[in-house]
């Protein structure tokens, strides 16, 4: 049996400031679909990235078929029989299904790609693995249904001698009617001696497809158990940390006090692409949470409020004033701030000093009447923000790149506090504690509460449900690009969130 197993033993992954995995041991078999679940940040992606060869673990060992191995690159992992089909998809849109399946391994005749043989070989591969599937391999994949594209990706992944296939949220972007096909494909793989590691937010899917299920929480292994022995609600309990009950009632009282402020931002008839929000408002001092599954529109809505490329709306008012020309600059000048996700791409400049990063939005604060930027003034304001947010750095001249995730996030927030006075009425946070360690997380929460206490309307779009539960006064779940019925604090529970996010009635 050992030759059919892939064993991870005591895998630890240490990132600067966070431990993504802490001595995790799991065994994956070739005759099973193995569900891997956990909240965002629980360590699922890190684990499969290590297994897929794109991330070397800090410590721990991997054994495949009883032989200890080191996976140095995705190519290395492939040669060992491990393939990874990522959530985003990796097909070349302009090429046909057949060309995508044999990308990089095209049959050649006299140095030229043999088009006929390529079509036949690709078709044969599809037939070998999934005889029941009918798929158009001649069309550019961009014009195919999403499920067909997923199948093509899977067939390509199976091109080599694969024993373990990692599927990351394979059905996240699929319309319901296309899911069935993919499900049957996933189920057929273990019968052909290809084990599947399935990552999915849909617990019903995990339950239906998996033979065994592993639960991760905060980078630790919680349990690995036969799927039949765990109910969905048990899975939810295992995924979520059960703590923080004590502070709740106090927060509830504070929330009630905040809920009566004036409307800070309101929109009507908001459309951005497929996203539709008929009505939304947030009051001064209120903390509103947006939740949803990947691609359901909660992040998209938060982003579109600030950077509205392709947005149509009936009305949009900030502090009672109608927004005329709606773009990032206008929103900023009307008093809306955005602390975006992926801070290094969207908010910060890694090569810059902390001081310069902090001064990015309002450098005017340090301008003297002569028009000169005063270093001294900039320095003292930067120091003030760094003290306010407890940024751990040896000086404001330190390069941003050298900070830990939590401190970077504090700078990303601090940008909007530097030289801002009380100008911001609304602050939008997207994944505010993404890649942030526990200590900094608490400080960021405290800062959000302080701002809310000052009358700033706080909008949080997050995939961290505990975060939403602790912070929000009310929650709007997004399902399939539309805002669902709002949840008030009395209705809060993580299982209620998950139910609301999956669009199933409670």
Partner 1 sequence: MTSTSAGTAPSRDLVLGIVRKDHVQRYSTVVVLVLIFLIFAATVDRFLQPQNLLNIAQQISILTIVGVGLTFGFAAREMDLSVGFAVGLAGILVPLLLTKDVALPLALLAGIGAGLVIGGVNAALVTIVGIPSLIATLATASILFGISFILTGGRAIYGGLPEAYLWLGQGRVGGVPVLAILMLIAVIVAWFVMERTVFGRYIYAVGGNRKAAELSGINVRGYRIAALVVCAVFATVAGMLLASRLGSGQPNAGERYLLDGLATVFIGMTMLRPGTATVVGTFFGALFIGIINNGLNLLGMDTYIQSIVKGIIILTAVAVVSRTTKLNLL
Options 171, 214, 396, 470; binder of partner 1; rule CB under 8 A: 396
Options 307, 480, 495, 499; binder of partner 1; rule CB under 8 A: 307
Residue 459 as a binder of partner 1 (CB under 8 A): the answer is no
Applying CB under 8 A, the span of 40-48, 103-111, 312-320, 324-332 interacting with partner 1 comes to 324-332
CA 138 to chain CA mean position, Å: 33
- Both tokens of 138, joined, read 């001649």
Nearer to partner 1, 7 or 360 (CB): 360
Options 383, 491, 499, 502; binder of partner 1; rule CB under 8 A: 383
What is the distance between the alpha carbons of residues 449 and 461, in angstroms, rounded to a whole number? 16
Options 144, 338, 452, 475; binder of partner 1; rule CB under 8 A: 338
Among positions 339-378, residues that touch partner 1 (CB under 8 A) are 340, 345-349, 351-352, 356, 359-361, 363-364, 367, 371-373
What is the distance between the alpha carbons of residues 158 and 164, in angstroms, rounded to a whole number? 9
Q: How far is the CB of 371 from partner 1 (least distance, A)?
A: 6
- Range 401-437 burial, b when 16+ CB lie within 10 A, else e: eebbbbbbbbbbbbbbbbbbeeebbbbbbbbbbbbbb
Angle between helices 494-502 and 232-239 in degrees, nearest 10: 120
Q: How far is the CB of 444 from partner 1 (least distance, A)?
A: 15
Nearer to partner 1, 221 or 415 (CB): 415
DSSP 132: T
Q: Which helix (H) or strand (E) holds 475?
A: strand 474-479
DSSP per residue, 348-403: --TTSBHHHHHTSS-GGGGB-TTSPBPHHHHHHHHHHHHHHTT---S-TTSBGGGS
Among positions 398-457, residues that touch partner 1 (CB under 8 A) are 398-399, 402, 404, 415
Residue 395 as a binder of partner 1 (CB under 8 A): the answer is yes
Q: How far is the CB of 180 from partner 1 (least distance, A)?
A: 39
Q: Say if residues 16 and 403 touch (Cβ distance below 8 Å).
A: no
Residue 386 as a binder of partner 1 (CB under 8 A): the answer is yes
Residue 331 as a binder of partner 1 (CB under 8 A): the answer is yes
> Contacts with partner 1: how many residues (CB under 8 A)?
42
What is the distance between the alpha carbons of residues 32 and 209, in angstroms, rounded to a whole number? 10
CB atoms inside a 10 Å sphere around CB 271: 16
Nearer to partner 1, 247 or 439 (CB): 439
Applying CB under 8 A, the span of 59-67, 127-135, 278-286, 395-403 interacting with partner 1 comes to 395-403
Applying CB under 8 A, the span of 161-169, 178-186, 293-301, 391-399 interacting with partner 1 comes to 391-399
**CA–CA–CA angle 235, 236, 241 (5° rounding):** 115
For residues 284 to 303, the per-residue mask of contacts with partner 1, x marking binding by CB under 8 A and - elsewhere, is --------------------
Q: Which helix (H) or strand (E) holds 34?
A: strand 33-37
Nearer to partner 1, 403 or 465 (CB): 403
Alpha-carbon Rg of the chain, whole angstroms? 25
Nearer to partner 1, 6 or 396 (CB): 396
What is the distance between the alpha carbons of residues 229 and 35, in angstroms, rounded to a whole number? 13
Residue 14 as a binder of partner 1 (CB under 8 A): the answer is no
Contacts with partner 1 by CB under 8 A lie at: 306-307, 328-329, 331-333, 338, 340, 345-349, 351-352, 356, 359-361, 363-364, 367, 371-373, 383, 386-387, 390-399, 402, 404, 415
């Amino acid at each position: 049996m050992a030759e059919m197993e892939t064993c991870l033993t005591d895998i630890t992954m240490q990132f600067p400031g966070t431990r993504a995995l802490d001595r995790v041991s799991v065994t994956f078999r070739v005759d099973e679909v193995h569900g891997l679940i956990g909240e965002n940040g629980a360590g699922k992606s890190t684990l499969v990235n290590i297994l897929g060869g794109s991330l070397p673990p800090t410590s721990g060992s991997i054994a495949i078929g009883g032989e200890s191995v080191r996976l140095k690159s995705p190519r290395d992992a492939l040669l060992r029989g491990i393939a990874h089909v990522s959530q985003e998809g990796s097909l070349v849109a302009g090429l046909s299904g057949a060309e995508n399946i044999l990308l990089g391994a095209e049959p050649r005749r006299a140095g030229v790609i043999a088009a006929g043989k390529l079509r036949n070989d690709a078709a044969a591969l599809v037939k070998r693995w999934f005889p029941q599937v009918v798929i158009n391999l001649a069309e550019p994949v961009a014009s195919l249904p999403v499920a067909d594209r997923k199948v093509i990706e899977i067939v390509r992944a199976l091109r080599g001698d694969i024993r373990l296939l990692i599927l990351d949220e394979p059905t996240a972007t699929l319309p319901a009617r296309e899911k069935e096909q993919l499900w049957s494909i996933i189920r057929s793989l273990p019968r052909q001696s290809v084990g599947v590691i399935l990552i999915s937010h849909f617990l019903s899917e995990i339950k239906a497809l998996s033979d065994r299920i592993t639960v991760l929480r905060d980078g630790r292994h919680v349990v690995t158990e036969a799927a039949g022995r765990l109910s969905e609600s048990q899975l939810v309990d295992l995924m979520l940390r059960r703590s923080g009950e004590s502070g709740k009632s106090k927060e509830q009282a504070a929330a009630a006090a905040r809920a009566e402020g004036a409307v800070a931002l309101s929109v009507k008839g908001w459309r951005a692409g497929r996203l539709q929000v008929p009505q939304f408002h947030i009051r001064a001092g209120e903390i509103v949470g947006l939740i949803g599954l990947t691609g359901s529109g909660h992040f998209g809505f938060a982003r579109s409020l600030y950077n509205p490329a392709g947005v149509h709306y009936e009305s949009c008012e900030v502090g009672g004033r109608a927004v005329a020309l709606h773009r990032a600059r206008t929103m900023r000048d009307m008093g809306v701030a955005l602390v975006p996700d992926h801070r290094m791409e969207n908010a910060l400049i890694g090569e810059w000093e902390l001081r310069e990063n902090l001064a990015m939005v309002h450098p005017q604060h340090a301008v003297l009447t002569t028009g000169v930027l005063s270093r001294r003034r900039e320095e003292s304001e930067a120091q003030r923000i760094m003290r306010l947010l407890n940024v751990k750095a040896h000086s404001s001249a330190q390069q941003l790149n050298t900070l830990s995730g939590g401190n970077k996030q504090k700078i990303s927030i601090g940008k909007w506090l530097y030289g801002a006075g009380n100008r911001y009425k609304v602050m939008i946070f997207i994944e505010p504690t993404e890649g942030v360690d526990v200590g900094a997380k608490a400080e960021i929460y405290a800062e959000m509460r302080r701002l809310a206490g000052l009358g700033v309307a706080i909008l949080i779009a997050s995939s961290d449900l505990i975060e939403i539960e602790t912070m929000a006064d009310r929650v709007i779940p997004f399902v399939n690009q539309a805002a669902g019925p709002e949840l008030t604090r009395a209705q809060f529970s993580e299982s209620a969130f998950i139910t609301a996010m999956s669009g199933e009635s409670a």
